[in-house]
Amino acid sequence: MKTTEFIAWASSAWPEDLAEEWDNPGLISGSLDAEHSKALVTVDITAEVIDEAINQGCSLIVAHHPLLLGGIDSLRQDHYKGAILATAIKHEIVLFAAHTNADVVSGGVSDALAKSLGIDNPRALDGNTEGHGRVGRVSPRTLGQLIEDVRNIIFPTAKPIAYIGDLDMSIETVALVAGSGMSFGDVADADVFITSDIKHHPALDFKQQQLISGPKALIDISHYGAESIWLTTLAEQLQNLGLDTSISKVNTDPWDGVIQ
C-alpha cells in the first residue's frame, strides 16, 4: 500500500474536518509514493518508538498524538523532535497521526475505552453517534468496583488512579473522555465521569458542586493508559488493509514513578 492510498483510507476513517481547530493530524513526514507492508501503531512518537519500527522493519508509524502539535521552530538534531524526524526520514519511515478526528468517530479512542468498560450502546456526550466522549449505562456496581474494572483494563503506568466520591456509591451510568477531557465535565450527565489530566481547580469545583447538586463521582486516569486501549482497534483496522501491523510495546507515559 502506498502512502497516498493510506491517506485516502484515513481521510474516510478519521475525516480531518472533524479535528479541532488547534489540532494537527495527518501526514507528518515521509514520501507520498512510499510502499508499505508493515506498520507500527502507538499513542506517541518517541525515539524509542522509531527504534522499534526500525528493528521490526516497519515503514509506517500511525500515532494518536501528532509529533508537531504546537509547531516547531527548527529541525536541529540536538532537539528531540528534529532528531526523531531526521531518523525517520533517514530510514524512510512515514509518520502519520490521527488525533481529535479519531477521538470523536465510532470505533475511535473514547469509543474503545467505553466499550472496554462495558458501557451499553455508548453515545457521544451530546447524544449523537459521533462526537466527543461517550456516555451510557453499565451493569450496576459500586464506585470501588468500577475503579477496579478501570485498573484492570488500562495499561499499567506509574500514574495512579485518583477519584472523588464514596467508594460504596452505586454506579449505573458512566460518562468518559479518553485523554484530557475535563472541559466536558459540565455536560457529562452520569453517575461518574472518567477522564485524564485533571487539574486542582476543576477537581475542587466538581467536588464542591456535589454539595449542592447531589453525589457524582470523578475518576482521573493515565492519559496514555486511557488512549492506548484504542491501539488494538487501530491495529485491526490496518491489518484489514493488508498491512502487517504491530502494537508498540513502548510505554510512552512520561512518569517514571510516584512517591506517596
- Same structural domain for residues 13 and 95? yes
Tell which wins on pLDDT, 260 or 174.
Answer: 174
- Same structural domain for residues 222 and 151? yes
* pLDDT at position 253: 96
Residue 259: inside a domain = no
pLDDT digits (tens, 9 = 90+) for 179-203: 999 999 888 899 999 999 999 999 9
Across all residues in the chain, what is the average pLDDT? 96
* pLDDT at position 112: 97
Residue 256: inside a domain = no
* pLDDT at position 119: 96
Residue 233 burial by Cβ neighbours in a 10 Å radius (0-12, 13-18, 19+):
middle
Residue range(s) defining the domain that contains residue 57 = 3-102
Quick check: 235 and 247 in contact, CB under 8 A?
yes
- Same structural domain for residues 86 and 154? no
Residue 120: inside a domain = yes
Residue 232: inside a domain = no
- Same structural domain for residues 97 and 184? no
pLDDT digits (tens, 9 = 90+) for 196-237: 999 999 999 999 998 998 899 999 999 999 999 999 999 999
Pairing status of strand 60-63 against strand 38-42: parallel
- Same structural domain for residues 142 and 36? no
C-alpha cell at 134: 461517550
HSE, side-chain direction, 13 A CA sphere, residue 222: 25
64 has a pLDDT exceeding 90? yes
Whether pTM exceeds 0.85: yes
Residue 83 burial by Cβ neighbours in a 10 Å radius (0-12, 13-18, 19+):
middle
- Confidence label for 260 from pLDDT (cuts 50, 70 and 90): confident
Which CATH number do you get for residue 36? 3.40.1390.30
